[in-house]
Structure 1
Amino acid sequence: MKMLLSTALAALIASSSAFAADLYAPEPAPITPAAPVAVSTSGWYLRGDVGYAWNHLRGASYWQGGPGGFNADFDDADVDDSWVIGGGVGYQWNDYFRTDVTLDYMFDSDFEGSTSGSCGVAADCVSTDRASWNALSLLANAYVDLGTYGGVAGGFGGITPYVGAGIGATRVNWGSLRNTSCDVNDPSNCDGSVEHDGEDSWRFTYALMAGASVDLTCNWAADAGYRFRQIAGGDMFGYAMNGGPGDDDGFYVHEARLGLRYTFNSCEAPYVPPAEPVVYK
């Protein structure tokens, strides 16, 4: 009897051990999350910008006296500052180089100038000349991104400084110029006002840029920067009443700009490791 119980107990223990072995699953090794892997550092982007422009007129001149007359400079010539709005499309070639084409519109900037000489009411007169101008610039630009600094996982919040240059053309649109001449010794004694038709012309333009962008999301970046443009000289106004035409010597434009860029296919995809299979023994 004692032998029979011992045999049964041994068989029960062996059966339990085999059943436990069949259900055994090894404890999986700890998985270290992998860093996100960028799908691509290149892609097309759209941009939009607003800016404020400090404009400097490089000079202006006019023809005085009709046939046999002479060309003279304005005694004073100045233009006001203005706002700029623009947009463009570009391509990010890699982490350090991108190009785009931009179209920018500069809102009206007032011109005020003066000339001196004889007029219809006196031999010694000074004129007041007023007009306005606006401009549309088309530029092809290239930028060098100088690396991304800071930010969190995925690059959000990273700051990327850059420098760039552009080349293209600007259509300068001059409005009518109104000229009023008055006696130097009696400013109330004025000649009748003369209006000259404004001229439009395309001018060669180049630009230099510097700034920094901040990644807001994987697609959106905010941009803050400075741009310098030099616009070549051209036609300003036409002939009227023995005066004109007139020309300007071009502009220096200093701009502070803020913008947004949306890049297609720039989001990062996190690496997901395959699940460990359960092993039965």
Structure 2
Amino acid sequence: MRTLKNLIAAGAASLISSAALAADLPPPPMYVPPPVEDFGGWYLRGDIGFSNQQVKSLDNALYHDPGVSVQHTGLGFDTAGIFGLGAGYRFNNWFRADVTGEYRGKSNFHGVDVVTVNGTPFGTNTYTGSKSEWLVLANAYFDLGTWWCITPFIGAGVGGSANTISGFTDTGQPAASLAFGPTATKWNFAWAVHAGLAYKVNPSLTMELAYRYADLGDGITGDMYTWNGVNAVNNPMHFKNITSHDLRFGVRWAIDAAPVYAPPMLPLMRKG
């Protein structure tokens, strides 16, 4: 009986001693997840798409002759392709900026005006021709959060547009007339606003589907001349306030992409 009591007392003493020793030891290190990096970096981009363009009005020196009134109807352009390249920098998860240059392909122009002289209908003019542009923009974008790898964004850009009018022809009826406008290019201040969705395929590659409204300024032909080369007054045709609703598909390639994940930090094992 005494032996059993001695064993119980010895076990209790050993348990108390172990608990006291454990209390003196430092706590095991806790797992701390790695911080999420607000990653930025350089990227390249490419875009293709198509335009839907309008012109507010046409203007010519002859429109301002005394008693002449001109009413435009059906001025417009056909759809044309857009091809662009650019480079930019992503500052953090919500702000990035880039510089883009693009060629906007030739778009056929068509329009009609009705001419009235001293209140009496005089005739109509039917216009044809084509237009193309080189557009350079500096853009800034705000990414609005990411859900299932999809990031909506908005943005704005400013820059310049070189608008080229070519093959311009003016055919008059019923008083038969024919005039031509030589090819000419005009540089303008341009601006744009953007909205779209971006899908991150992997850390290096992001695809975009975006809408853009672009104000491209004005266009101008060379000095108009008749079928026999006669022209008594300098009267190039002015295209006033050219705008476009663009739909674009783009890709962004990150030059220094963030890693897919950070390996977890494992606690150190104590020896002894």
TM range (shorter): 0.7 to 0.9
The Cα shift of 1:103 comes to 0.6
Show the counterpart of 2:182.
Answer: 197
CA spacing shift, 1:72–1:48, aligned 2, 3 Å: farther
Partners of 1:197 and 1:72 in 2: how far apart?
25
2:72 to 71, 75, 81: 75
Residue correspondence of structure 1 range 139-150 to structure 2 within 5 A: 139-150=137-148
CA spacing shift, 1:149–1:131, aligned 2, 3 Å: same
The Cα shift of 1:217 comes to 0.7
CA spacing shift, 1:213–1:117, aligned 2, 3 Å: closer
C-alpha contact 2:165 2:219 (8 A) present in aligned 1: no
Worse overlay, 257-266 or 231-240: 231-240
C-alpha contact 2:144 2:152 (8 A) present in aligned 1: yes
Residue correspondence of structure 1 range 133-144 to structure 2 within 5 A: 133-144=131-142
State the one-letter code of the partner of 2:111: G
Show the counterpart of 1:94.
Answer: 92
Partners of 1:61 and 1:132 in 2: how far apart?
17
Partners of 2:99 and 2:223 in 1: how far apart?
33
- Tell me which of the two structures has the higher relative contact order, counting C-alpha pairs closer than 8 angstroms and 6 or more residues apart: 1
Partners of 1:216 and 1:36 in 2: how far apart?
23
Partners of 2:138 and 2:213 in 1: how far apart?
14
Partners of 2:33 and 2:68 in 1: how far apart?
70
Partners of 2:202 and 2:41 in 1: how far apart?
15
Matched length: 232
Which ranges of structure 2 fall in alignment gaps of 5 or more residues?
Answer: 1-27
The Cα shift of 1:81 comes to 1.8
CA spacing shift, 1:106–1:89, aligned 2, 3 Å: same
Say whether 1:227 aligns with 2:212: yes
Which ranges of structure 1 fall in alignment gaps of 5 or more residues?
Answer: 1-28, 151-157, 185-189
Show the counterpart of 2:241.
Answer: 250
Partners of 2:269 and 2:68 in 1: how far apart?
91
Say whether 1:240 aligns with 2:225: yes
Residue correspondence of structure 1 range 43-192 to structure 2 within 5 A: 43-64=41-62, 73=70, 75-76=72-73, 77-117=75-115, 124-150=122-148, 158-183=149-174, 190-191=176-177
TM-score under structure 2 normalisation? 0.74
CA RMSD of the aligned region, Å?
Answer: 3.0
Q: Which has the higher strand share?
A: 2
TM-score under structure 1 normalisation? 0.72
